[in-house]
Homo-oligomer: A and B are copies of this chain.
Amino acid sequence: MDISWNERLSDGAHRITSSAIRDLLKLTEQPAVISFAGGLPAPECFPTAELTAAAERVLTVHPMAALQYGPTEGYAPLRSFLAARMAALNMPVLTEQVLITSGSQQALDLLGKLFLDTSALVVVEEPTYLGALQAWRPYGPRFVTLPLDDEGLDVIALARLLATGAQPRFLYLVSCFQNPTGVTLSPARRHALIELAARYALPIVEDDPYGDLSYGGERPEPLAALDIALHGELRHVIYLSSFSKIVAPGLRIGWVAAPAGLSRKLAHAKQGLDLHTGSLAQATACEACHAGLLNEHVPRIRATYRTRRDTLLAALEHQMPPGVRWTHPAGGMFIWLTLPEQVDATELLYTALEQQVAFVPGATFHANGGGTATLRLNFSSTAPERITEGVRRLGQAMRSRL
């Protein structure tokens, strides 16, 4: 008897859906297309020489650390390095609180596994990071969305929600140079948010992969830093970050710093997922970091990405038809466009692809629908001259639709 696989799937599996947009964009990865669609770091900036030297050294000097099974919690020297780095950013945590994950994405799945049941409430920004929705949908939660503006999440809307007695499992946000909008939560709202978290015992999942990519001005204090400053230790914030944007995503190394009461549970859950994160990648990253990689590399990519952001903003200024608005991010990798209400960004994408330019329609980033007249542009992985040309094509596509 043949097996009808679809009939055999779990409830969770039925909630996993393919993204039609992703499939569409996959078909257009030809060099002729100028793509603002990805979320990729600039490959020409990868610190290849530093990582090659580091990989050679670990394989020669510490082959065991690079090749053997490793602890589920992560490679101890890397955990120490990250704890020290967090301390330098006003987030003193114990090494034991740091768990290495296979990219931040795995941390999101882990948190889903630990906290989510069918119909559990999760508060997210509108729009929010697509990967978080993908990680959590199989667990069947209900998403409550809160709007954001140029100062980030609308904290007053959150206060109203919590005042109704709602008990979300957690609030998820990208606190700095958000994906997809590029906006950053303002210092005043950060303080208000941490107070709300303390008052209502609300766990906050702070995703911060872009915080180091600031193109001028100070990096705001992470929510984790405020939590520690107020309570002497991480108490309400589960802090996520990653090497994907500041070193290379192919390493697949992220980390989560969690309140002490949660760290062991995270490690136990990770055991069932993959035993541990790749040792070769962890040991290589650690070796490179000890050799000073971040201090040299992060300023380099900041300079490159700043130019690209400026180029994109200038091109938008020149090419966008009236009625189109966009964010002005102080860092990160993305700019968010809001189109005149009647424009459907998914339909616009078809026209754009005819013009050999691509982006991600904003609806994808909306947990509960909506956002049809919005779109995301990535600027980190496209050279300035192609950015300018791409926006020219995008403007053309828009004008043919307006």
List chain A positions with a Cβ less than 8 A from chain B: 1-6, 8-13, 16-18, 38, 40-41, 43, 46, 48, 51-52, 55-56, 59-60, 63-70, 102-103, 105-106, 108-109, 113-117, 120, 131, 134-139, 169, 198-201, 203, 235-236, 244, 248-252, 259, 261-262, 264-265, 268-269, 271-281, 283-284
Contacts and interface: CB of A to CB of B under 8 A. Distances in A.
A113 B13 contact: yes
A359 to B, nearest CB: 17
Nearest to A72: B22
Contacts of A105: 272-275
A8 B115 contact: yes
Contact of A103 (B46, B106, B274): B274
A70 B264 contact: no
Given A8-B115, A43-B64, A117-B12, A3 B203 contact: yes
Contacts of A18: 264, 268
Contacts of A69: 38, 40, 244, 249-250
Contacts of A272: 16, 105, 108-109, 131, 134-138
B134 A8 contact: no
A9 B273 contact: no
Contacts of A262: 5
Contacts of A11: 117
